[in-house]
Copies of this chain bind each other. A is one copy, B any other.
Amino acid sequence: MWGKRDDMVVHEREPFNAEPPPGVLADAPITPVEAFYSRNHGPVPGTDRDSWRLAVAGLVDRPLSLSLSDLRRDFEPCTLAVTLQCAGNRRAGMAAVREIPGEDPWGDGATSTAEWTGVRLADVLAAARPTGRAAHVAFEAVDVSPLARPAQPYGASIPFAKASAPEVLLAWAMNGRPLPAAHGAPLRVVVPGYIGARSVKWVRRVVVRAEPSDNYFQAVAYRLLPPDADPDRAGPGDGLSLGPIALNSAILRPADGTSVPPGRTTVRGYALAGEHRRVARVDLSADGGASWRQAELDPAAGAYTWQLWHADVTLPPASDVELIARAWDDTGALQPESPRALWNPKGYANNSWPRATIHTSPRP
């Protein structure tokens, strides 16, 4: 389905929401397209590359209408490795604290990394000559979401300062090949360091504004509500609008609930520091937190990607072993310990210490 592996964990078929099976993300720093998570809010739209035009409008002195050929011809191409992470990544761990009705129970797999090719949004904005009132940049897509109240095309916005940073792309290719339909063909936004929801797929309008987008998915959804809020009654502006993402990590392999032989095992996972930060250290415990060792961090594929990590542990036979990881960023900040304190009604931003219980078989 949509060019994905047969063994994807499909949370919903329409809208198509799926993550790779546990452990697969540990295989490579750049995720193959067939394993890259898919997060959609409506049906994948059919689009025509040749007739596609991107409008740049709003608070600009020179509105633009650009074909894909115009983008390729008029702006410098740019390829960047970027990790995207859904705000609902690791929701399952939060739902284990208290149920989160109506939201998909994503595991660790709503995070993936690709090499994106396109042009810098900053260059396109500059060509449109934003006015002095420019403070936000909204993205309007073509996919209509029945989840929004009322149903509406998907949209989002980011601050103008972020939109003007060199890392934000209008991308037409993923891992060196044209963007697949399920990932936003023919053109999508890639906003490194921000929740995936701001990397709008199938983008057809970029609107420079004085205020954030009033699209449902910016104004109402993707907000961190206080635990006692009723999400069905929450209105525009309630809670904390999610944008830049926080330090996070996962244990990928061995996967939670699996069995391994006793003895030496390599534990693998990812860590992601989010906007303006770098991962500085990852610790691993193989005894439920009583003792910790430092994991080895693989080099990052870029300034906006996760880092895969691994650590060797020696596991006793015939035991249930609790693995716990915890990542630190370069400010000395540590992930929070428990999802209990992080619980929120929509189940966003679970960045608590990842835990995996592994069973070891008896000695052979």
Contacts and interface: CB of A to CB of B under 8 A. Distances in A.
B226 A294 contact: yes
Contacts of A277: 244
A328 interface: yes
Interface in A266-315: 274-277, 280-281, 292, 294
B336 A349 contact: no
A331 B280 contact: no
Interface size class of A (residues with CB under 8 A): 35 or more
Contacts of A332: 224, 240, 242, 245-246, 348-349, 351
Contact of A240 (B328, B336, B337): B328
B226 A330 contact: no
A333 interface: yes
A227 interface: yes
Contacts of A242: 331-332
Given A294-B226, A328-B240, A334 B336 contact: yes
Nearest to A280: B240
B243 A331 contact: yes
Contacts of A325: none
Interface in A315-341: 326, 328-338, 341
Contact of A292 (B227, B245, B348): B227
Interface in A55-75: none
Q: Which residue, of A275, A280, A336, has the highest number of chain B Cβ atoms within 10 A?
A: A336
A247 interface: yes
Contacts of A281: 226, 240
> Could you tell me the dominant secondary structure of chain A's interface residues?
loop
A52 to B, nearest CB: 33
Contacts of A349: 331-333
A353 to B, nearest CB: 8
A197 to B, nearest CB: 13
Nearest to A344: B332
A342 interface: yes
A248 B329 CA distance: 14
A165 B245 CA distance: 23
A274 B245 CA distance: 15
A337 B333 contact: no
Contact of A246 (B227, B294, B331): B331
Given A246-B331, A246-B332, A275-B331, A338 B337 contact: yes
Interface string A236-256: 000010111111000000000
A275 B243 CA distance: 16
B328 A334 contact: no
11 contacts: A226-B294, A243-B331, A244-B331, A246-B329, A275-B331, A276-B276, A326-B341, A332-B351, A333-B333, A336-B336, A336-B337
Interface of A: 224, 226-227, 240, 242-247, 274-277, 280-281, 292, 294, 326, 328-338, 341-342, 348-349, 351
Q: Would you list the 8 A-B pairs with minimal beta carbon distance, nearest first?
A: A246-B333, A332-B349, A276-B276, A246-B331, A244-B331, A240-B280, A334-B336, A224-B332
